[in-house]
Amino acid sequence: QVRLVESGGGLVQPGGSLRLSCAASGIIFRHVDMGWYRQAPGKQRELVASITSGGTTNYVDSVKGRFTISRTNAKNTVYLQMDSLKPEDTAVYYCNFPTARPGLSYWGQGTQVTVSS
């Protein structure tokens, strides 16, 4: 069955960097598109970055130029490199398919990112 395990979150100061990882199993990873979502307190979960099976990437405007999504198919892993972090980036970050539904799809536990002085 599908399993998604996020890691790499933590506490970082504004302007700092973090690299998140998502290990996937139960899917033919090299054939699927993947994405990173985040959910801040009091806000809805939003898709912030995606990468197709062919390597094409897309980003929400608020993270363009600061976040980079990548994947290593041999390790069934997708990454999110986050640079120039801002307090408003504070959220729980999840990986999933770009078409995932919060109320219907499988979701992992996520990883907490806190940006604070």
Q: Convert the pLDDT of each residue in 9-48 to its tens digit.
A: 999 999 999 999 999 999 888 999 999 999 999 999 999 9
Q: Convert the pLDDT of each residue in 75-94 to its tens digit.
A: 999 999 999 999 999 999 99
| Alpha carbons 59 and 45: distance in angstroms, whole number | 15
| Alpha carbons 48 and 34: distance in angstroms, whole number | 11
